[in-house]
Amino acid sequence: MNWLDTILQGVLLGGLYALFAAGLSLVFGIMRLVNLAHGDLIVLAAFLILVLVTTLGLNPFISALVAMPLMFAIGWALQYFLLNRTLGKDILPPLLVTFGLSIVIQNGLLEGFSADSRRVFAGSIESASVNLGPVTAGIMPLMTFFSAVAVIVGLNQLIYRTSVGRAFRATSDDPVTAGLMGIRPQRIFAMATGLAMVVVTIAALYLGTRANFDPTSGPSRLIYAFEAVIIGGLGSLWGTLAGGIILGVAQTVGAAINPEWQILAGHLAFLGVLLFKPRGLFPRAVD
Amino acid sequence: MALLETRGLTAAYGDFQALFGVDITVGAGETIAIIGANGAGKTTLMRSISGVLANATESILYRDEPIGALPAPDILARGIAMVPEGRKLFPSLTVEENLLIGNYGRKVVGPWTLESIFALFPILKERRSNPATALSGGQQQMVAIGRALMSNPEVLLCDEISLGLAPVVVRDIYAAFPRIRETGASIVIVEQDIAQALNVADRVYCMMEGRVTLTGRSTDLSRDDIHKAYFGTEHHELA
């Protein structure tokens, strides 16, 4: 067994989990909303990309670019017209509503696309690889990982360097006082969810080109996304990337020891982190 | 002519009524003070004008337009900015970011920019990159005032800006007010310190239990009148 190769593959897999998780982390960080339909929204975006590829004959990467503004609009409207009404002191309504939404999306996709497993074909790039000295890495896993890093860097720049990002943070701190600054929290939340859906579209592109998906594969993506967010510490985007990598490495190392242990090893790593650092590795100082 | 006016303004938190028909007027360029004991309704009045609390639309007029029912962002856009009680700085933002966010909903060219606020409160320039909550209470109050000024308001509402601060610090903060008045802005100050209020304001309203009990020019009011209006009549009958 080549440990270096195993760990590299795990790190690259972690990029995919970080992409699953980044949108969840963003939404939770800004409005303390736990979106149980997040995994299903990833699958929804994957089907959207699939439809664009099959009906318009577009390249998957171009399809994802087309899908991004559509998913932004879906996220914006979902937050503005539905999820904003669930936010408040009680944490139960958003959980119940997004849980229901998860069922609605799964069954809607089942009606529209049947229960068949699907894939988005990206052509020869799927099996291309580069030689990195002692190890070899696939082009797609490398692209996934660097997309994840680019998404995290981009979101951090947005949050810490722009006027909208200041409004995100201020609204997260205190929506009433943010209103005195002319910020409309309802619209800020809608924009944040729209942005999360753009990240979801990127995650869906790599989900759809690297693995099979069907209308019910959302919840298992949600678990990995949750674990990555919690390992990293709630509200920290770099923590989410670290959480994804830890999860990915744990899974590939587990699989290298015994293929049956892949999933279990990831969950054990998650429990291990919770045991020693209950608030995750890089929790935000406040709250 | 009044720039800002309340007419029979009432406000309630659920079953608890906090304001019972308050009438105040603020003229252009005027500084008024609202004094009264805890629970007199001063903060409720500020929250009503600034749009944090929604009221009957005709009960607050700004430039003769009814604004009582508008939410806070619409009030700010019209030129009424508030320094809220307890400062309410954003802990996730630095000092400079707290100032910059002040004009998020109202970007007009005027006397107040980041540079002119740093000139008004030079200590903030030194501490611009610190988290806002790492500052002393007085410095935090300067940030809160500067944040409200960033929108170049026509009316500046200041709710209890001396609360919890040492007298020497309060003096420093009030020293900035002549400069703010020079820009032509109207100022409404809620203050428990009567001497400070009389000193800074053209006119004073005294409130008690949700009503205005006394009003007049600062120079005309006697200590005794204010004392009575502030604490009520000498004896309360027991129910």
Q: What is the pLDDT of residues B23-43, one digit of tens each?
A: 999 999 999 999 998 889 999
Is residue B235 over pLDDT 70? no
Query: Is B144 contained in some domain?
Result: no
CA distance B55 to chain A (A): 16
Average pLDDT for residues A148-162, to the nearest whole number?
96
In the predicted structure, residue B179 carries a pLDDT above the cut 50: yes
- Is the CB of residue A26 less than 8 Å from the CB of residue A195? yes
pLDDT, position B238: 46
Residue A1 pLDDT: 57
**The pLDDT of residue A237:** 92
Point out the residue among A182, A184, A286 whose CB comes nearest to the CB of B92. Answer: A286
Fold category of A3-113+136-276 in CATH: ABC transporter involved in vitamin B12 uptake, BtuC (1.10.3470)
Q: What percent of chain A has pLDDT over 70?
A: 98
pLDDT of residue B234: 52
Alpha-carbon distance of B28 to A75, in angstroms, equals 45
Put simply, the answer to whether A181 touches B97 (Cβ < 8 Å) is: no
Q: Specify the residue for token string 């009549």.
A: B233
Contact A170 B93 (CB under 8 A): yes
pTM reported for the whole predicted model: 0.91
What integer pLDDT is reported at residue A285 of this predicted model? 53
pLDDT of res. B75: 97
In this complex, is the C-beta atom of B106 within 8 Å of any C-beta atom belonging to chain A?
A: yes
**Interchain CB distance below 8 Å, A176 and B71:** no
B219 in any annotated domain? yes
Of all residues in chain A, what percent are helix, strand and coil, respectively (each to 5)? 75, 5, 20
In a domain, B160, yes or no: yes
In a domain, B104, yes or no: no
B207's enclosing H/E stretch is: strand B203-208
Task: Check CB contact of B50 with chain A, cutoff 8 Å.
Answer: yes
Under the phi-then-psi rule, with left for phi > 0, alpha for psi from -120 to 50, and beta for the rest, what region is A280?
left
The ipTM (two decimal places) reads 0.92
pLDDT confidence band for A264 (50 / 70 / 90): very high
Q: Which of residues 155-174 of A touch B (CB under 8 A)?
A: 163, 166-167, 169-170, 172-174
* Contact call for A286 and B50, based on CB within 8 A: no
Q: What's the average model confidence in pLDDT over A247-271? A: 95
In a domain, B186, yes or no: yes
Chain B residues inside the 8 Å CB shell of A183: 73, 101, 104-105
> Average pLDDT for residues A220-224, to the nearest whole number?
93
The structural domains of chain A, with segments of one domain joined by +, span 3-113+136-276
What is the C-alpha separation between A14 and A241, in angstroms, rounded? 7
Q: Is residue B140 part of a domain?
A: no
Is a pLDDT exceeding 80 seen at residue B226? yes
Domain presence at residue B142 = no
Look at residue B227 in the predicted model and tell me its pLDDT: 81
Quick one: average pLDDT of A17-24?
Answer: 96
The distance of Cα A73 from the centroid of its chain, to the nearest Å, equals 17
Contact criterion met (CB < 8 Å) for B90 and A170 = yes
> Nearest chain A Cα to B91, which residue?
A173
Query: For chain B, how many structural domains are there in total?
Result: 1
From A285, which residue of chain B is nearest by alpha-carbon distance?
B92
Mean pLDDT estimate for chain A: 94
Is B40 within 8 Å of B190 (Cβ atoms)? no
Give me the residue from B73, B88, B101 closest to A166, CB to CB: B101
Q: pLDDT by residue (tens digit) across B42-72?
A: 999 999 999 999 999 999 999 999 999 999 9
Domain that holds residue B214: 2-90+153-231
- What pLDDT does residue B237 have? 45
Tens digits of residue pLDDT in A54-94:
999 999 999 999 999 999 999 999 999 999 999 988 989 99
| CA-to-CA dists, residue A8 to A96, A126, A252, angstroms | 39, 18, 9
Answer whether residue B1 shows pLDDT above 80: no
